[in-house]
């Protein structure tokens, strides 16, 4: 066995595989070197595969439009990252850059999925987990980068439905809204009034009327 | 006109909702909170805020208004 094969065999992802399968995966795996600060990939780009740090360390992070960053993971030797898009088929949910001179293995998407070819049930389950993990990444992004007003606007946009339509009208207390967006009811109450003053919503008794969805979208 | 929802199984009859209701809508009837003047309720949700055992809920309907219409059949 080569050193790469031994390294891959030591990873949790491949711990159940036999030597022949590990050899095949090693043969399809790419090695890339990155200088300190160099970007491996960007959020929103197509996924090239599962990344595993062979040496060095890599920072996986989300960026806000204003340039703020939220680090999701510092991946060190043996750690994998960019797992989500490999298994849900979407784009990269975060960006990655080298914290120091680093070498990574890139295991192509098709190679990773080939391990699940004989078990569509497992593929479906892992796809579901990946989708949920991507959603949690979005939650972290919202909590890190968005104000309460912005988070509330986003939540109202996602929940509001036409009365009498196919979906039932959601009913939430201010406490429940606060729990969803990670805030407290007093702040939610003030945020609702901010949205109303901006002309995006209208508070009418027990109703929160989304009267200008475009304005609300601008405030997310 | 919607009014706050009171769970009588949870209500302890402490009277905080009566004290804090700005429109005098709530009172105690047989030791439990009761909305006695629903037409005066402005749905401020103060009763929900101050209810110690969380027996009162003031849920809001989240409605999308399309072209000025709520989708209601009768307004």
Cβ distance B73 to A211 less than 8 Å, yes or no, reads no
Query: What distance lies between CA A107 and its chain's CA centroid?
Result: 20
Out of B2, B45, B64, name the one closest to residue A174 (CB).
B45
CB contact under 8 A, A173 and B72: no
- pTM, two decimals, is 0.77
Alpha-carbon gap, residue B70 to A49, rounded angstroms: 47
Q: Is B74 on the interface with A (CB under 8 A)?
A: no
**Could you give the CA distance from residue B43 to residue B46 in angstroms, rounded to a whole number?**
8
Residue B71 predicted with pLDDT over 70: no
Asked if B70 lies within 8 A of A209 by C-beta distance, the reply is yes
pLDDT digits (tens, 9 = 90+) for A44-96: 999 999 999 999 999 999 998 888 899 999 999 999 999 999 999 999 999 99
**R_g of chain A computed on alpha carbons:** 22
Q: Which long-range contacts (CB under 8 A, 24 or more apart) does A196-205 make?
A: A200/A153, A201/A156, A202/B65, A205/B1, A205/B2, A205/B42, A205/B43
Q: Give me the phi and psi of B61, to 5 degrees please.
A: -80, 135
pLDDT at B66: 81
Asked if the model's pLDDT at residue A199 lies above 60, the reply is yes
Percent of chain B with pLDDT over 70: 89
- Best to test chain A binding among B2, B60, B71 (most A CBs inside 10 Å): B60
Cα–Cα dist A19/B69, whole Å? 66
Chain A CA closest to residue B56: A173
Q: What is the mean pLDDT of chain A?
A: 94
B42 touches B2 (CB < 8 A): no
Give the strand pairing for A207-210 and B60-64.
Answer: parallel
* A207, A212, A213: best to mutate for the B interface, most B CBs within 10 A: A207
Contacts of A84 (CB under 8 A, 6+ apart): A90, A93, A130, A133, A134, A137
Question: Taking a C-beta distance cutoff of 8 angstroms, is the pair A98, A40 a contact?
Answer: yes
In this complex, which of A163, A170, A171 lies closest to B70 when CB atoms are compared? A163
């Amino acid at each position: 066995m080569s050193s790469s094969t031994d390294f891959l065999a030591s990873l949790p992802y491949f711990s159940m595989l036999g030597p022949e399968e590990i050899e095949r995966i090693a043969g399809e795996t790419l090695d890339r070197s990155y200088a300190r600060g160099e970007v491996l990939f960007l959020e929103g780009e197509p996924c090239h595969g599962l990344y595993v740090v062979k040496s060095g360390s890599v920072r996986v992070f989300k960026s806000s439009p204003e340039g703020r960053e939220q680090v999701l993971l510092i991946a060190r030797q043996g750690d994998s990252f960019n797992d989500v898009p490999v298994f849900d088929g979407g784009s990269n949910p975060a960006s990655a850059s080298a914290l120091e001179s680093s070498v990574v293995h890139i295991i192509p998407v098709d190679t990773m999925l080939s391990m699940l070819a004989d078990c569509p049930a497992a593929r479906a389950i892992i796809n579901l987990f990946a989708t949920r993990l991507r959603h949690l990444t979005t939650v972290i992004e919202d909590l890190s980068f968005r104000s309460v007003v912005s988070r509330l606007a986003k939540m109202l946009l996602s929940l509001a439905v036409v009365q009498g339509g196919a979906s039932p009208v959601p009913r939430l207390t201010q406490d429940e809204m606060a729990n969803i967006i990670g805030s407290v009811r007093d702040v939610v109450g003030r945020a609702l009034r901010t949205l109303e003053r901006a002309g995006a919503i209208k508070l009418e008794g027990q109703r929160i009327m989304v009267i200008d969805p475009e304005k609300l979208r601008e405030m997310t | 006109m919607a009014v706050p929802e009171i769970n009588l199984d949870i209500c302890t009859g402490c009277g905080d909702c009566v004290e804090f209701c700005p429109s005098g809508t709530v009172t105690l009837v047989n030791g439990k909170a009761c909305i006695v003047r629903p037409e005066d309720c402005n749905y401020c949700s103060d009763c929900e805020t101050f209810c110690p055992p969380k027996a009162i809920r003031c849920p809001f309907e989240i409605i999308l208004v399309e072209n000025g219409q709520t989708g209601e059949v009768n307004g």
